[in-house]
Amino acid sequence: MGYVMETYSRLPVSLVKGSGCRVWDDTGREYLDMVAGIAVCNLGHCHSKVARALKDQADELFHCSNLYRIPKQEVLARMISENSFPAQVFFCNSGAEANEGAIKLVRRYCNTISKRGPKIITLSGSFHGRTLATLTATGQDKVKEGFDPLPAGFLSVPFGDIDAVAEAIDDSVGAVMVEPIQGEGGVRIPPAGYLRKLRKLCDESGLLLVIDEVQTGMARTGELFGYMHEDIVPDAITLAKALGNGFPMGALVARPDIAEAFAPGSHASTFGGNPLAVAASLATFSVMVEEDVPKMSRETGAYLQAEIEEIKRLHPSIKEIRGKGLLIGIEFDADISSLPKDGLAKGALLNVVQKNVLRLVPPLVISKGECDEAVSIIDSLLKEKGL
Ligand SMILES: Cc1ncc(COP(=O)(O)O)c(C=O)c1O
């Protein structure tokens, strides 16, 4: 028996060091990282500016409570708002917490300001986290098994079907919460125009549109945030994963007139946005904007997708290649759950979702040469497995 709870089936490798798109295990073996801690280390491992910011902050102050002003938090909140939409920000520590905060904010807003019912519509196949409310919001039964009783207040409608959302709306509903691309669900992209239609529907019915950008945010899909592909303005977005480039950090970003529903005492987090976390995130966000990382993601993503298209004809089990920026899914008509383990033997970290989709989410700083290397490893793995 190990001392760590077995909530993950872990691969037999211990990673101890990282730099850019490379990681090393405890025997010194090098791997090309096509996972980036699941869309977390978007600027690459141990990015010098983020590491510097953390080291400098560690010499000054690790933590102080949100009972006091935290100046870098104010700078970061402003930077997020100026690069998204006029908003106020609540800082927390993870994606589930950011979404939990969004759910609470929707409820407070509906119960105290808009007087609409506080139910939230979410989509089949979605993933919003592992707290009780966020797993209930999640559109996948497997994450709910054995956790009854689940909280009330969520309605699930089929993915990508705008008419189904329209039909589900009545006075009891106050918001719709969606991912621009379903990452955990298998890199599923809704039909073009879906978010725009959703925005229109929410405007007509007085609903809030909450966009879960935990995985799609921070340049992952080739825009700073995934919703930007459709030129809409959300009412709230949630962030985590790449916000701290590996330092745990989450954020709920909401229109100020909605954020107003929270008063001192209605929501809180001991660690949320502490000095170390905001130092890491401020450095990360600054690099994203100053170095136009979304463009990098767009261009390299297009290159990588085209390279994968090239090998598709050699592998009849590949059904579809899809993605935006560097959130790419290769769907197979076979169970490919063993690929991550086989990938280790070839020197690559690979990730599979829903048993049949190879999800490529490397650091956004990956070079074209490294993309070629990844495609060649995938090609040879598929050949060996007869896929
Ligand atoms: C879209 C989305 N929302 C929420 C979460 C939950 O984030 P966390 O694991 O940081 O709680 C995830 C994690 O994969 C996610 O992809």
What's the pLDDT band for 115 if we cut at 50, 70, 90? confident
Distance 96 CA to ligand 1 centre (A): 6
Catalytic residue among 91, 104, 212, 247: 212
Sheet holding 351-353, edge to edge: 318-324, 327-332, 357-360, 351-353
Question: How many angstroms separate the CA atoms of 253 and 169, rounded?
Answer: 24
Q: pLDDT class for 226, splitting at 50, 70, 90?
A: very high
Name the phi and psi angles at 37, rounded to 5: 65, 30
| Percentage of residues of the chain with pLDDT beyond 70 | 100
Whether the CB-CB separation of 218 and 224 falls below 8 Å is answered with: yes
Dist. CA 74 → ligand 1 center (Å): 24
Residue whose pair of structure tokens reads 């009330």 in the numeric block: 152
Q: Is 127 a catalytic residue?
A: yes
Q: Contact, 60 vs 380, CB < 8 A? A: no
Measured from the CA of 130, which atom of ligand 1 is nearest?
11
Residues flanking ligand 1, CB < 6 Å: 94-96, 99, 127-129, 179, 183-184, 212, 214-215, 240
Q: What pLDDT is stored for residue 1 in this prediction?
A: 82
**If you take atom 4 of ligand 1, which residue's CA is the nearest one?**
128
Tens-digit pLDDT profile for residues 273-298: 999 999 999 999 999 999 999 999 99
Per-residue model confidence as pLDDT tens digits over 343-356:
999 999 999 999 99
Catalytic residue among 91, 241, 247, 262: 241
**97 CA to middle of ligand 1, Å?**
9
Q: Which of 240, 195, 202 is nearest to 218 (CA)?
A: 240
Which two three-digit tokens encode residue 347?
Answer: 């020197």
Distance CA 357, CA 161 (A): 22
pTM listed for this prediction: 0.98
Ligand 1 centre distance from Cα of residue 243 (Å):
12
Judge contact between 54 and 276, C-beta under 8 A: yes
DSSP 190: P
Q: Which atom of ligand 1 is nearest to the CA of 134?
A: 4
- From CA 119, how far away is CA 313, in angstroms rounded? 46
- pLDDT of 247: 98
Q: Is residue 321 predicted with pLDDT exceeding 90?
A: yes
Q: Whose CA is nearest to atom 3 of ligand 1?
A: 128
Q: What is the set of domains in the chain, with CATH numbers?
A: 15-46+293-354 (3.90.1150.10), 48-290 (3.40.640.10)
Question: Which SS3 state, helix, strand or coil, does residue 90 take?
Answer: strand
Mean pLDDT over 240-249 rounds to 98
Give the residue among 198, 238, 236, 194 at the shortest CA–CA distance from 214. Answer: 238
Q: What is the mean pLDDT of the chain?
A: 98
If one residue of 38, 123, 126, 127 were mutated to test the ligand 1 pocket, choosing by the most ligand atoms within 8 A of its CB, it would be: 127
Question: How many Å lie between the centroid of ligand 1 and the Cα of residue 59?
Answer: 31
| Set 91, 127, 285, 332: catalytic member | 127
Return the DSSP state at 127: -
Amino acid at 69: R
Q: Whose CA is nearest to atom 8 of ligand 1?
A: 95
User: Using an 8 Å Cβ cutoff, are 6 and 207 in contact?
Assistant: no
Q: Are 366 and 219 in contact (CB under 8 A)?
A: no
Closest atom of ligand 1 relative to the 213 alpha carbon: 1
Q: How far is the CA of 268 from the centre of ligand 1 (A)?
A: 19
Span 212-234, average pLDDT = 98
pLDDT at 89: 98
Q: pLDDT tens, 128-146?
A: 999 999 999 999 999 999 9
CA 303 – CA 332 distance, rounded (Å): 21
Please say if 241 is a catalytic residue.
yes
Give the whole-angstrom CA distance, residue 262 versus residue 134. Answer: 19
Instruction: Report the percentage of the chain scoring pLDDT > 90.
Output: 99
Reply yes or no on whether 295 is catalytic.
no
Exposure of 183 by Cβ count < 10 A (0-12 exposed, 13-18 middle, 19+ buried)? buried
Distance CA 66, CA 304 (A): 43
If one residue of 241, 243, 354 were mutated to test the ligand 1 pocket, choosing by the most ligand atoms within 8 A of its CB, it would be 241
